[in-house]
Structure 1
Amino acid sequence: MADIKVNPISNALGLLRVRVKRGINLAVRDVKTSDPYVILRLGKQKLKTRVIKKSLNPEWNEDLTLCVTDPNEPVKLYVYDHDTFSLDDKMGDAEFEIRPFLDAVNMRLEGLPNGTVITKVKPNRKNCIAEESCIVWNEGKVIQNMFLRLRNVECGEIELQLQWIDLPSSKAL
């Protein structure tokens, strides 16, 4: 009798590509600098950028792709300082809702001029957005650029860009 394999992607809504662009004014955790990296979590998924050595303003420009099954679950972000001989130091955390982005994707827009603003997400007490974030149409795709202010730390922001990837077999949003 053959084993039945459950495909976790079968109940996926699609893929969220998160480009971790850069860190801005991150906290010092090693004498005068830090060796930062970012961890993204969505549900049980956990993805990590590479470590940037000796930088408080690191540029990752790294794409991390999460499988979205629940549009109401926030993406959580953690920044750490890599240490060789001890536990890595926390450098702050943040989270953001993907619902406004998914609502824009779900509009199924076509043929708009590049740079058309679909909607805006304003900073408030419940989110970590540092400044107004625009969800825009660019080259046939819905894109959201955002700056997240890190919590539980003295300073620091992370710049991200979101992009949606439809799966051929995915459920509609």
Structure 2
Amino acid sequence: MECLLGLLKVRVVRGVNLSICDPLTHSSDPYVVLRLGTQKVKSSIKYHSINPEWNEELTLSITNMMLPVKIEVFDKDTFTKDDSMGDAEFCILDFVEIAKRDMTNVANGTVMKTIHPEKENCFVTESHITWKDGKVSQDIILKLRNTETGEIVLHLQWVSIPGVAR
């Protein structure tokens, strides 16, 4: 059995300029699926929108910080298989390593690390892992792959498990 390191709360904030999958209405019915290893969590469906606002919190148990979090966006269809609207992924290694540190003497609002957009990641802009109000958090904007357009805005927050060593 793998050791639980902590929980990753992922707030799916919104989608920006997602693909139009329903040409008659010039919109889509998007939802987001997050995967980490064998875990899979899903947002609600936002009907008739290419700029959906979810503001939903999905939680993943972290047992292996080497695995990437994979994101897929789908268009909900009633009579056919849901259409893919793109995908993205991000590495949580730096985030978890920082979250496991002793933050006793770290000032509130400290940027612990900055992640820059690179060829190897899906980041649209630089992203800061921050210690604020007693929590490690990160705001991320990801460019969707395998589609012509679309971005997903996420907010990550670490939840330590009492009794689990840092």
> Fold-level match, TM-score > 0.5?
yes
Equivalence for 2:6: 14
User: Based on CA coordinates, which of the two structures has the bigger radius of gyration?
Assistant: 1
Report how many aligned residue pairs link the two structures. 164
Q: Secondary structure at the match of 1:103?
A: helix
Please tell me the residue identity of whatever aligns with 1:11.
Answer: C
Question: Does the 8 Å CA contact 1:111/1:140 hold for their aligned counterparts?
Answer: no
* Deviation readout 1:57-108 (Å, 9 max, x if unpaired): 1010000000111110000000000011111000000000001111221222
The correspondence for 2:137, drawn from 133, 136, 143, is 143
Q: Secondary structure at the match of 2:51?
A: coil
Equivalence for 1:123: 117
Equivalence for 2:37: 43
The correspondence for 2:98, drawn from 83, 90, 104, is 104
Deviation at 1:50, TM superposition (A): 0.1
Deviation at 1:129, TM superposition (A): 0.8
Over 6 Å off, 4+ runs: none
Quote the Cα distance in structure 2 between the aligned partners of 1:166 and 1:92: 31
Quote the Cα distance in structure 1 between the aligned partners of 2:21 and 2:163: 45
Runs (5+) with no aligned partner, structure 2? none
What CA RMSD, in Å, does the superposition of the two structures yield over aligned residues?
1.4
Deviates more, 1:98-107 or 1:17-26: 98-107
Quote the Cα distance in structure 2 between the aligned partners of 1:168 and 1:107: 15
In structure 2, the CA distance between the partners of 1:111 and 1:56, relative to structure 1 (3 Å rule), is farther
Deviation at 1:116, TM superposition (A): 2.0
1:55-70 equivalent positions in 2, closer than 5 A: 55-70=49-64
Deviation at 1:117, TM superposition (A): 1.1
Quote the Cα distance in structure 2 between the aligned partners of 1:37 and 1:111: 40
**TM-score computed with the length of structure 2 as normaliser:** 0.94
Please tell me the residue identity of whatever aligns with 2:161.
Answer: L
**TM-score computed with the length of structure 1 as normaliser:** 0.90
